[in-house]
Structure 1
């Protein structure tokens, strides 16, 4: 019997399968991944360092959709805004992965490289070193919260009796376009205004 042209198991297939499970259930286990791939659990451990290793594969897979080259374009604030929009889109595609990825340490080299580029861009712009990580973390909080919001129903308020909450009903009726996109751009503009002021004061 000839050997298969393609290995039965590799890191890419493990990542794809684990992400499929997370997209469906919001969690995964190594035995679940192995079962879906049709292999023994021990076989998965030959390719990754346990569950934590798979989490980092997921992080790399989701983050690979972020256009990190935006950090190199234009003024620092324009670059940061473009990176934020791409970051949001990448994670909005897999909202159930967000709690998993935000509660485990970042180890994946390709993801750490994006942070290195963001840090370098802020330092080169003149930010004081103690301000750099708070600026990045605040942006991530904004981005990831909005990515989760994108996965929510467009109408988050169900008014069975509009007469009981007339001003809320009017405000909801006045929204034009995507409330999530508008809220994100409003928050991003406010964030950037504060960060520009922080830079001027440093």
Structure 2
């Protein structure tokens, strides 16, 4: 029998399968990937550097949807805000992978390139070196939390008895559709305003 025209196993298939398992179960394992692909576990290890390597492949795949050109819009604040929106959209498409990526060091070279670019934007704008990573991490915390919020139900508060929490009931009744987007933009504007203060003090 001749070799199949399409390889049975490669890094792309491993990454796609890992993302599918995480979307379904919130987790993945190398044996689970092997079972899903119909191969031996050892065969998977021939293509990746263990579990950590697969996590980085997933990070690279998810982050490939972030539009890095947003970091070249001219002004640091417009660039950072546009990057945050693109970053949020990329991770909102894979919300269940966020806990895995947030608890694993970033190693993927293509992802590190985006951080390098973001650092360059901030340093070029005049931010103090000691403030740069704080700004990026704060923005990431906002982005990733909001990406998870996008995956949550529109109604996150259920009041069995509105008379017990009347002020909360009134506030919830006033919430317009698209609360996650509105909350993200509110928080993003607050972050950018605070970052402007850091820059002024630098």
Aligned-pair CA distance for 1:110 = 0.5
Q: What's the TM-score once normalised by structure 2's chain length?
A: 0.98
> Residues of 2 paired with 1:165 and 1:132: CA distance?
42
Count of matched residue positions in the alignment of Structure 1 and Structure 2: 202
SS at match of 1:164: coil
| Shift in Å, 1:51 | 0.4
Q: After superposition, where does 1:5-154 map in structure 2 within 5 Å?
A: 5-154=5-154
| Secondary structure class of the residue paired with 2:163 | helix
Distance in 1 of aligned mates of 2:45 and 2:79: 39
* Separation in 2, partners of 1:77, 1:47: 41
CA deviations over 1:114-148 (Å, ceiling 9, x no partner): 00000011011111111100000000001111111
Query: Which whole-Å deviations, capped at 9, do the CAs of 1:130-170 have from their partners, x for residues lacking one?
Result: 11000000000011111111111110111111111111111
Q: Which runs of 5+ in 1 are unaligned?
A: none
Tell me how far 1:74 sits from its aligned partner: 2.8
What's 1:194 paired with?
194
Q: Which consecutive segments of 4 or more residues in structure 1 shift more than 4 A?
A: none
TM-score (norm 1): 0.98
| Aligned-partner Cα distance in 2 for 1:132–1:16 | 33
Q: CA offsets, 1:24-63, max 9 Å, x none?
A: 1111000000110000000000000000110000000111
Q: In structure 1, how many angstroms separate the alpha carbons of the residues matched to 2:16 and 2:199?
A: 41
Question: Deviation per CA, 1:41-100, whole angstroms, max 9, x where unpaired?
Answer: 000000000001100000001111111110011311001000001101111111110000
RMSD, aligned CA: 0.7
